[in-house]
Amino acid sequence: MNIQRYQELISAELDVFANSLPKSPDNLYEPIRYTLTLGGKRMRPLLTVMGAGLFTDEPGPSLPAAIGIELFHNFTLLHDDIMDNAPLRRGKATVFAKWNSNIAILSGDALYTEAFRQVAKSPAAVLPQVLDIFTQTALEVCEGQQMDMDFESRSDVSIAEYIRMIELKTAVLLAGAMEIGALCGGADRAEAHKLYEFGRRVGIAFQLQDDILDVYGDPDKFGKQVGGDIVSNKKTYLLLTALSRANGYHKENLLNWLQSDVNDAEAKVNAVKEIYDAFEVRKAAEAEMHNQFSLGIQALESIKADPSKIAMIKSVAESLMVRQH
């Protein structure tokens, strides 16, 4: 089965889900329907059915978990937007902004419940393992979000802590999506766990890529303002590397840009980029990204399954790695 067919299946299942939601109370379910219309690449459910597809030609048993994981991801965005006070997501008003904080909290809780309900429809034979991975992953995503919030007010974040944070906040869900798919597809635990490792490593690589693109990406293709992370002092891999490498005048200069109120955002972005260049920060981030990605591909290629299916997953991962250059 090819990727387009998988994507059609997922899209159809998400429509079935959205259409089956109750009408009332409107303030509980309308924000959920709205959230699902905001779109997204539906990458996580694709990973789940592709993970299953490595071990079976019948993606059906992995579909509820795939939908559940996509719903969970949307739930995390819904609550994150409250915590970040974010007015927009994908160019449209967030639930928090369109309704209010209370409605965003409660409809998020309901969406999380629906996510769990879908995952619970996984095949009975693997249900306990699937739930174990799902709940562990969900908890780690919460831990990653908390670490991210804690980092905002800390000045001593290490690069290792940063990698751990993006692993928890972003990568483990890609990893869990694949491992759960594999188990639903009949994989044994050892093979399924190799897919987890693949998802975890490429997930870290994707986030490092996002950090790099925020500074060095083509704004037309990237769709965001270049240097947004620099403007907001976000502690990315790049900034933490610069802070660890810079010294003397450069360090003082960098700290000055971080600590002072800046009116001229472009000047700040350019100045910080100059410091990044001076300490070859981009090269360090790219090296770490490629290293993580290679370790992921290595895990993928060690799986005992049809080589053409492994190649398909590898090509999807590779296409995501260069998607915004």
Contacts with its own copies by CB under 8 A lie at 22, 25, 27-28, 79, 82-83, 101-103, 105-106, 109-110, 112-114, 116-117, 120, 124, 127-128, 131-132, 135-136, 138-139, 142-143, 145-147, 149-150
Q: Which is nearer to its own copies, 126 or 243 (CB)?
A: 126
Q: Which is nearer to its own copies, 169 or 273 (CB)?
A: 169
DSSP code per residue over 254-316: HHHHHHS--S-HHHHHHHHHHHHHHTTHHHHHHHHHHHHHHHHHHHHHTS-S-HHHHHHHHHH
From the CB of 65, what's the least distance to its own copies, in Å?
13
From the CB of 206, what's the least distance to its own copies, in Å?
23
Q: Which is nearer to its own copies, 121 or 251 (CB)?
A: 121
Alpha-carbon distance 68 to 177, whole Å? 10
Alpha-carbon distance 247 to 257, whole Å? 15
Strand (E) or helix (H) holding 93: strand 92-93
**Residue among 86, 176, 197, 73 at smallest CA distance from 130:** 176
Q: Which is nearer to its own copies, 151 or 216 (CB)?
A: 151
- Pair 275, 253: CB distance under 8 Å: yes
Q: Which is nearer to its own copies, 46 or 71 (CB)?
A: 71
- Pair 185, 61: CB distance under 8 Å: yes
Q: Which is nearer to its own copies, 99 or 222 (CB)?
A: 99
Alpha-carbon distance 109 to 61, whole Å? 26
Strand (E) or helix (H) holding 92: strand 92-93
From the CB of 87, what's the least distance to its own copies, in Å?
16
From the CB of 78, what's the least distance to its own copies, in Å?
10
Place of tokens 């999506």: 177
From the CB of 127, what's the least distance to its own copies, in Å?
6
From the CB of 231, what's the least distance to its own copies, in Å?
22
What lies within 8 Å, CB to CB, of 136 at 6+ separation is 176
